Amino acid sequence: MDQAKNLRNQVAKKKGGRSTKVLSVTSGKGGVGKTQTVANLAIALREKGNEVLIFDGDMGLANIDIIYNISPPYNLKHLVDGSKSIDEVLFKSEDGVYILPAASGIQELTNLDQVHKMNLISQIDQLEGRFDYVIIDTAAGISDNVMYLNSASQFILVVVTPEPTSITDAYALIKVLSTRYSEKEFYIITNQTRTEAESKMVFNSLVSAADKYLDSVQLWHLHNFPYSEKVRQSITRQVPMIKFEKEGEIADCYRELAKKIEALELERTKGGMQFFLKQAITGNG
């Protein structure tokens, strides 16, 4: 616990004095655009000259692979069993975004035995100082693995749509992270909204519930993405939206989101990439 507390009080500095920002992108339910947000945000940040790593935290589904239309030869399983090094497993997309691919069928990170955990941590140590941003695509829901990945991140981005079950499940996610993991700040991304009023309704619903039932939780409306049929078209063609329609409204939204992410201040008590990955693996708070 003392080691974990010490890690929480450090900010992982990059060589040259820059800091690594660690973001988790999560949701209470599937189908709300979480992975699409990760894939496009990563490209938007890369366009601005940042070194970006996507950590695919969904052990059961390789959705990043689908959206990017890639087939990485190796994945987290090869890193865990020690058959491949971190540099062999990392996959670089044509846009310059690095991906640490998930592996279907692998145990949740927090359920790995001690040997495999140490294997993974020793490899991850080699990533120190290499990235400006680490973006974690969590699975949907409130499983232990999702909770650990979120609670180990510096900034938790929750994607939610106007669908009532999306709002309800997003609140459930926030509630568990708040009451069991002492997380108090959440950045809300509303998605697939038809009007500005609908976007505000979704956010205000979450704020109202949090204010009524949760203690000292702060929600920030980070960005809104309007409904667009072209998003579905881009998914079908396995082309990230920011490339599918480079000068379109949604692509511009992702670039605006990237600006907001760059403006976020690193004033959290948790550290950067090293803290995140080690906490996600060990499950220590």
pLDDT per residue as tens digits for the range 134-175 = 999 998 999 888 888 898 889 999 999 999 999 999 999 999
> pLDDT by residue (tens digit) across 179-227?
999 999 999 999 999 999 999 999 999 999 999 999 999 999 999 999 9
What CATH number has the domain bearing residue 94? 3.40.50.300
In this predicted structure, what is the pLDDT of residue 63? 82
What is the pLDDT confidence band of residue 3, given thresholds at 50, 70 and 90?
very low
Highest mean pLDDT pick, 11-25, 115-129, 131-145, 153-167: 153-167
Which of 65, 143, 52 shows the shortest CA–CA distance to 101?
65
Q: What secondary structure does DSSP assign to 67-104, as a single string?
A: HHT---S--HHHHHTTSS-HHHH-EE-TTS-EEE---T
Q: What secondary structure does DSSP assign to 187-243, as a single string?
A: EEEEEEESSHHHHHHHHHHHHHHHHHHSSS-EEEEEEEEE--HHHHHHHHTT--HHH
Q: How far apart are CA 72 and CA 94, in angstroms?
A: 12
Query: Stretch 120-131: mean pLDDT, rounded?
Result: 76
In this predicted structure, what is the pLDDT of residue 106? 64
Which of 177, 196, 195 shows the shortest CA–CA distance to 185?
177
**pLDDT of 109 over the 50 cut:** yes
Structural domain range at position 76: 2-282
Least confident of 80-94, 107-121, 187-201, 244-258: 107-121
Longest dimension (CA), the chain: 52
What is the three-class DSSP state of 268? Answer: coil
Per the structure, how many domains does the chain have?
1
> pLDDT by residue (tens digit) across 225-280?
999 999 999 999 999 999 999 999 999 999 999 999 999 986 555 655 556 666 66
pTM above 0.75, yes or no: yes
CA 66-57-154 angle, to 5 degrees, is: 125
**pLDDT of 12 over the 50 cut:** no
